[in-house]
Amino acid sequence: MKPITFLFSLLLTIPFFSTAQVREKLLMDKSWKFHFGDASDTKNDFNYNINYNLSKAGSAGGVISEKFNDADWRTLDLPHDWAVEQDFVNMKDEGLQDHGFKAVGGQFPKTSIGWYRKTFMVPVTDSGKKMNIHFDGVFRNCTVFLNGHYLGNNFSGYSEFCLDVTDYINFHKKNTLVVRVDASQYEGWFYEGPGIYRHVWLEKYAPFHIAEYGTFVTTTMKDSTATIAVETKVENNTTGRISGSLQYRIYDKEGNKVTGTIVDGVGAVNGDFKKIQYQFKIPNPNVWSLENPYCYKLVTLLKQNDVVTDSTATTFGIRTITVDPVKGLALNGKPIKIYGVCCHQDHAGVGSALPDAMQYYRIKLLKEMGVNAYRTSHNPPTPELLQACDELGMLVLDENRMIGTSTEYMSQFERLILRDRNHPSVFMWSIGNEEGWIHGTDVGKRLASTLIERLKELDPSRTCTYAADNGPNRKGINEVIPVRGFNYRIPKIDEYHAAYPTQPVLGSEVGSTVCTRGVYATDTINGYVIDEDSTHPYWSSTAEEWWKPNADKDWFMGGFVWTGFDYRGEPTPYGWPCINSHFGIMDMCGFPKNIYYYYQSWWSNKDVLRITPHWNGWKTGDSVKVWIYSNADEVELKLNGKSLGKKIMERNGHLEWKVKYAPGKLEAFGKRGTKKIYAKVETTGAPYQIVLTPDRTTIKADDKDVCVMNVTVTDNKGREVPDAMDNINFTAEGNIKIIGVGNGNPSSHEPDKFFDNNWQRKLFNGKCQVIIQSTATAGDSKFTASGSGLQPAVILLHSN
């Protein structure tokens, strides 16, 4: 287990600091044991349901016992998604199809229960401290035991939970943590990676401490001065009354102290809380924005008799969000339009168990396209996703899993708000998505009203929306929701706005063009759709159909396209052999489809000129529809030097030509103001040379960091071959390991994982991807890609 060290490096400069009592947060991801159970056979589920596991304290036996022999179980590190490791199953079943044809769910009892065991030591010097085990996310219904004692259950696969283990810890021998994960019941209608697929932490802190979720920071601006309002909740778990003090320090991005204070008389009786509020003024602050996502850090020290007993560090940003029914959305007083995407949480090669660096990789890809907002569809995200958005400058619509006010669902909602309310990237909450059975009813209205009121108590600084797919209808949730969210039915927004002009309007889910990267003919056998902005399901629209008529409406806040990336499951418009969606603007690997360049043309300031299709595989004389995605004012197209004419680009549009195919070079010449833009596609030769493109060549030697290696091939003239389908083999030598492969093919049944280390993947229309992870050892490593008849490629990676 590795401690989080950033806070300690700050605190060592503070007088009276004592390490003896300060909070620790230790990562528990390493060296777990794993074995499948069985939802239908008690014997194969380690007799879990017939042992006396709940009869006496500490009496749990069998697999839960500290004495159980798990030597033949698989050893693995977290995060872990066991579905991505399974074969695909071809069976006609809607739930199976929606979840990507993986053998998980009620029909697959032998691969829907997972058992995890971990042993760890706690030094006797920690006796007297409070201790929690914190799970960031386990899919789905899990039961947790420690040292033979039942600790608790967690219902949702997307909500974090924390269990107090103070009284159950062993100090003189190993502790045994056991988690039974039951994924036999789906929670969503999309791919859901079962297992402990997010981080697990051991937290240690003093009995007199800052409560969980106990720090809340809000900011306001007046003229050139920021007001930082801090609320701290202190908890006393000692046997009597304690009085102490709070010391606050705010640091800028460079680690310089900006301001601070000491609040005395902070006390609470045994088992009680004390809430402290304080305000700071910061003149001429650096504000958090999309272009400059500047973050400050609030360090809070709780002291007793001048000795620090607890400490927390809270990242925050100074920014102002304004939502107006006439003017739309503004950030720091500047009107902005939401250039947003909805995203699920899985990625090629790793399923839902993304290493932290993958969150940053994906957000960077979206920003490169021009995206400025991310909707966490349809559940609370992993904390690292929000950290990436804070640091890189991406607004977040943070979504609750399901509308409900029962004890369970209210708890999930509260945990979401309390966990995420300090993130500057979170600009609005979504209380739910497409609750078609209740959103037009009085029940739906009452449920929403209760959630909205609770939200105002927990976070009065933000408003909320609901992602409603019910067109111009008002009855029910839409009557009480502050911001009207439209899922599709975008032609009805003018009608709704005219009828209810005081309610702001947001495109909570829009678009839904379906397309397959690099495919230019519909293929119903393989389940491929043409890679242009031309095909969509009946309920949705193309990119141009939703964006072009609404881009300049001030009152329309913009929208979130379904989806930023392809995801496993929901293989619309086809079923088997297709196993993932076609909705993505990028595929499962993050390789752009052609629609990417439509959005980049109109959502970014880049000079964009994209010719499609590629110029391979056509027959001489074929009539080829050529699309141009660009923000140029005009474009001229030439084939083998002969002009095919000039066309004026309509704002928020695209251009088309019908071209009689001849092999050679198709060129586009664009003018954007005084700038000249150029693009070309060429008829290439056969694949010859493998080309490796890493997102970076230096990674941290921490056993967690990753390099994303993108693989292409060129012909003997160095031209990328866009339709190559060669099989590529991979080897990693040194202090790195391969953890997943993919290629964006929505109908590929190739494995994402190779436990025999025989790593390989076919190119799909010229591309595939390898995810490479560091070990804990620093040094140089070598990655090699080879293929039959191809020149190999080698790249050196450094970890430090």
Task: Return the active site residues.
Answer: 434, 509
Alpha-carbon distances, residue 705 vs 24, 701, 702, 730 (angstroms)? 22, 7, 6, 19
Gyration radius (Cα) of the chain, Å: 28
CA distance 628 to 789: 34
How open is the CA angle 433-438-443, to the nearest 5 degrees? 120
Beta-carbon count within 10 A of 79 CB: 24
State the chain's maximal CA–CA distance in angstroms: 90
| Residues in Cβ contact with 191 at an 8 Å cutoff, skipping those fewer than 6 apart | 83, 99, 100, 102, 344, 346, 351, 352, 567, 568, 569, 580
Closest CA to 770 of 709, 707, 698: 709
3-state DSSP of 207-275? CEEEEEEEEEEEEEEECCEEEEEEEEEEEECCCCCEEEEEEEEEECCCCCEEEEEEEEEEEECCCCEEE
> Can you read off the two tokens belonging to residue 493?
């927004």
Question: Residues 730, 757: contact at Cβ < 8 Å?
Answer: no
Q: Are strands 609-612 and 623-630 parallel, antiparallel or unpaired?
A: antiparallel
3-state secondary structure 617-683: CCCCCCEEEEEEEECCCEEEEEECCEEEEEEECCCCCCEEEEEECCCCEEEEEEEECCEEEEEEEEC
How many other C-beta atoms can be found within 10 angstroms of the C-beta atom of residue 445? 19
Give the integer Cα–Cα distance in Å for 488 and 472.
11
Between vectors from CA 785 to CA 779 and to CA 787, what angle results, nearest 5°? 160
- The tally of CA atoms less than 13 A away on the side-chain side of residue 305 is 3
User: Which amino acid does the sequence have at 469?
Assistant: D
What is the C-alpha separation between 752 and 191, in angstroms, rounded? 15
Amino acid at 9: S
Sheet order of strands, 655-660 included: 609-612, 623-630, 655-660
Distance of alpha carbon 460 from alpha carbon 443, whole angstroms: 24
- d(C-alpha 611, C-alpha 543), whole Å: 17
**How far is 578 from 279, CA to CA, in rounded Å?**
56
Which residue's entry shows tokens 């799970």? 135
**CA-wise closest residue to 20 among 231, 262, 217, 205:** 205
